Structure 1
Amino acid sequence: MDNKEILNIKSLVENIFKHIENGTIIKELVPDEPEDYSHVYSLACDYYDKGLIEQAEKIFHSLCLYDFSNTDYLLGLAAVKQVQKQYQKAINLYVMAINLDDTNASAYLYSGQCSLFMGDTGTATNRFKHVLTLNCESQDKEQAEYYLSLLENKNG
């Protein structure tokens, strides 16, 4: 991690806590000229990929506080919750991402996985079937078909 990434993270967290402590509205968190936090997001993804889940969670959480309308930030935090086996929290975050972008196959696929892990096969089946209706990567459709076949074999 280089000094610029560290400064970006510190700046983001300080800005968030300053506004929370002052009681100002969330709109105040968004600067007139939006800052580019792609390096911070990349760092969080890197931590996630390396299994440093707690560090990734802190960064994704801060990014979500900064911009809750960014589906990438929501999906990152949801993925952390899913790995932590906090399936309902993950589902809630995936649903928020779906509300922002109802064409995001990943959000449906991963929320379906969480539903399956929680034993809600009906919701899981609906999520996986919905992925098949979307214009998405073939890999997403293949995964959805795989889960649907597992569910069909389990029920059949």
Structure 2
Amino acid sequence: MDNIKDFFGDHDPETVMRLVQVGVDTFAREAGLEGNDIYEGLKDGNTAAQTLGLTRQDLEVLYAVGFNLLNSGDLTKAEDAFVHLCLIDPLEAKNHYCLGLSRQMAGKPAQAIDNYLNFLALDATNPDGYLRYGECLLATGDRAEALESFRLAAAEAEKVEGQAAALAEARGRIEMLTQEMAP
């Protein structure tokens, strides 16, 4: 599809938008969302946290609770904490990273992949995101994409001082996969 016109064909864009709005309004009504403060806040472009009046300090306290659960090995509760943080504060990259980490540590690499992609969409220069993403790709059997992710991790780590450990890890993974995938 080259552009939006190809998708809509000869339909008038204003008509299409009216139909979309009818669909959204119908969904909101049938789901009981009309008048819901959070739904209305989201429609206004706010996060749920903003609509609820949560401050950055409040969110940092919630993050600390989840992080402590993750560090203590309570992966189920950590995952729950970070799922909720991602829902109410979806633009905070570290929430997605920690949700991915909790799922990866719990042996759910396929789920963690999406979380790391969300993290990388918000913080595309972070080599740790590419490393964890690559690990999950390896765990699900996608060696070629994992190799590419490790290459991206190395490239990002080379750009910033203080990323020697990430760079060494990425290079080690690249070497390992290159040898394993050689004919």
Q: TM-score, normalised by structure 2?
A: 0.68
Counterpart of 1:93 (choices 115, 118, 128) is: 115
2:147 paired residue number: 125
Distance 2:61 2:152 in 1: 32
1:55-134 pair list within 5 angstroms: 55-134=77-156
Q: TM-score, normalised by structure 1?
A: 0.79
**Is 1:24 paired with 2:39?**
yes
Distance 1:86 1:131 in 2: 21
CA shift at 1:88, angstroms? 2.1
Change (3 A) 1:92 1:28: closer
Structure 2, unaligned runs of 5 or more: 1-32
Structure 1, unaligned runs of 5 or more: 1-18
CA shift at 1:33, angstroms? 6.9
1:34 paired residue number: 55
CA shift at 1:35, angstroms? 3.6
The aligned amino acid for 2:82 is: F
Farther-moved stretch of structure 1 (43-52 vs 66-75): 43-52
Runs of 4+ in structure 1 deviating by more than 4 angstroms, as ranges, are none
Change (3 A) 1:98 1:28: closer
Distance 2:114 2:154 in 1: 21
2:181 paired residue number: 155
Q: Secondary structure at the match of 1:85?
A: coil
The aligned amino acid for 2:144 is: G
Distance 1:84 1:99 in 2: 23
CA shift at 1:125, angstroms? 0.4
User: What percent identity do the matched residue pairs reach?
Assistant: 22
Number of matched residues?
137
The aligned amino acid for 1:104 is: N
- Structure of greater Rg: 2
